[in-house]
Amino acid sequence: MSVDESALPASQPSPHSRSVQAYIDETPLWADGTPVPSTPITNMQWRIWTLAAAGKFFEGLVVFMTGVALPLIAEEFKITPAQHGVVGAASLFGILIGAIGLGGLSDYFGRKSMFIVEMIIFMIFLVLLVASPNYFWLVVFLFGLGVALGCDYPTAHLIISESIPSSMRERLVLGAFGFQALGAMTGTVVGYLVLKNIPEIGAWRWMYATAIIPALIVTIGRFSITESAHWLLVRGRRDEARTQLARLLARWPTYPKSVEFTTPVATAGSRQSFLALFDKTNLRATVLASVPWFLQDLGTYGIGIFTPTILAASIGHRTAHVRSLADLISNDELAAKGAALIDLLLIVGIVCAILLVNKIGSIRLQVWGFIGCAAGLFTAAASGFTTGGTHILLIFVGFMLFNFMTNLGPNAQTYLLAGEVFPTRVRGMGAGFAAAFAKIGAVATAFLFPVLLALIGTQALLYILVGTSLLGAVVTWLFRIDTTGVNLEQIGK
């Protein structure tokens, strides 16, 4: 006997109604009732994932390209060592401001709106950066790029995780995040190729210019995606949520043929302030999302100090005293080659994370990743008791172990967890706060580590980083929230 759903009271859902995630997670059955092991991904879901992955690619491309461009920028604008540090920290500080200032706006204006806005901001400042007239405006434009990238940290994650099946969420989010490492390697390769073909001071402008047309294509593409039905429903926009979910799941033959939600219409109380992140309901998620990420950034940016030593030992020696433009270009090409080799190992780490996350889980990968990072840092610190070839070998092994373990564990998993552990109504604010809090560690590292190196030496500093990595493992385990394969609407309950 069929049920006339139109005859049911408006306050009661029909017997066939489901939640947003239940529709997204539904799997088909074979003729004998055997369920298919995975949910078919629609064209719209793949489009959303591709455009989000492209954003992470541009982040790695531009940020790491700056490392290749910086020596040429320093020569053109005659910047001092202190100004050199400001240029290096400008985009990091921008990411901090963008994550906390714009990332949370997706909870108010929608995931799609901020997904588009961040890319427009990125485009504007990228074009301005290419035309930078002096040091001051260069810093301003790098900061602007950072603001756009900071907004992308939470927004790109949310646009993926709220659009795809729970069984694939971790792998697809990490897969998109992995494009950051691919972009980093591409950025250094592009920088090297530009230097080889345009061996002049202004070559750094051409490096950034190569990203303008691809970024414009991605910006235009983002206008065509769907808004998050999760977000629309929480905001009480039930009809729009039904329409957008139908577009998201559009397939042939058409299924589902109709959409009806069990989730009640949101009330004004669902529109919570920033302080909601620290109430008893969300505090555990806030600590898990932000503190380990902060500790991870301390280690990642800290060990970067030892990069020049490793590159010199691995691929040859730079010219100690630059006497001409040819020497400058040669040194920059050498640095680009070395950075590309290191970025390749980061890609290996993220590939392993994608393959293992559904089998081991995000929490365990993050814990073991932190422990592996501590082992790498301890190995590098032990080099202080040796000399000669053994000294270089221990630094090299420690550095490479750290880079692999950080992308297998905390670098990838902190990003993944920050966009999953919060409820829909504050998910953008929570992920944005976590990213911003982490970048406090990155910015502090850029300014404080040279001072600490002079005061306590490299070995003592490495031991401190061993401690922060182990602390990251402890905090992760004490405040753990299991998210792997869990329905997005049920996480933390």
CA 2 to chain centre: 48
Q: Where are the alpha helices (DSSP H) in 273-316?
A: 283-303, 307-315
- Looking at per-residue pLDDT, the higher value among 301 and 165 belongs to 165
Residues contacting 446, CB < 8 A, separation 6+: 85, 88, 89, 92, 301
In terms of C-beta density within 10 A (0-12 exposed, 13-18 middle, 19 or more buried), how is residue 408 classed? Answer: buried
Residues of the chain by 3-state class (helix, strand, coil), percent to 5: 75, 0, 25
Nearest Cα residue to 21 out of 177, 247, 233, 222: 233
Tell me what pLDDT residue 34 has. 86
Tell me what pLDDT residue 388 has. 76
Residues contacting 359, CB < 8 A, separation 6+: none
Q: What is the mean pLDDT of residues 46-69?
A: 87
Question: Is it the case that residue 198 has pLDDT exceeding 70?
Answer: yes
- Looking at per-residue pLDDT, the higher value among 260 and 414 belongs to 414
pTM (whole model) above 0.85: no
Nearest Cα residue to 172 out of 296, 36, 47, 297: 47
Question: Is it the case that residue 217 has pLDDT exceeding 60?
Answer: yes
Tokens of residue 75, six digits:
């020569």
Q: What is the pLDDT of residues 227-269, one digit of tens each?
A: 999 999 988 899 999 999 999 999 888 888 888 888 554 444 4
Question: Is it the case that residue 181 has pLDDT exceeding 90?
Answer: no
Q: What is the pLDDT of residues 452-483, one digit of tens each?
A: 777 887 788 889 999 999 999 999 999 999 88
Tell me what pLDDT residue 384 has. 78
Taking the C-alpha atoms of residue 200 and residue 188, their distance in angstroms, rounded to an integer, is 17
Tell me what pLDDT residue 7 has. 37
Q: What is the pLDDT of residues 352-405, one digit of tens each?
A: 999 999 899 999 999 999 999 999 989 988 887 887 778 778 877 888 888 889
Tell me what pLDDT residue 343 has. 59
Tell me what pLDDT residue 264 has. 55
The partner residues of 35 in beta bridges, in order of sequence, read 29
Residues contacting 191, CB < 8 A, separation 6+: 65, 67, 68, 69, 207, 332, 336
SS3 36: coil
Question: Please, are residues 424 and 234 in contact by the beta-carbon 8 Å criterion?
Answer: yes
Residue 35: phi and psi, rounded to 5, are: -75, 145
Q: Where are the alpha helices (DSSP H) in 249-361?
A: 283-303, 307-315, 325-360
Tell me what pLDDT residue 112 has. 95
Give the length of the chain: 493
Q: What is the mean pLDDT of residues 154-180?
A: 91
Domains of the chain as residue ranges with CATH:
43-262+273-478 (1.20.1250.20)
Q: What is the mean pLDDT of residues 163-176?
A: 91
Question: Is it the case that residue 4 has pLDDT exceeding 60?
Answer: no
- Looking at per-residue pLDDT, the higher value among 449 and 426 belongs to 426
Tell me what pLDDT residue 413 has. 93
Q: What is the pLDDT of residues 287-341, one digit of tens each?
A: 999 999 999 988 887 666 555 545 554 444 444 444 444 545 555 455 555 555 6
Tell me what pLDDT residue 176 has. 92
Taking the C-alpha atoms of residue 249 and residue 43, their distance in angstroms, rounded to an integer, is 8
Percent of the chain whose predicted confidence (pLDDT) is above 70 = 85
Question: Please, are residues 66 and 184 in contact by the beta-carbon 8 Å criterion?
Answer: no
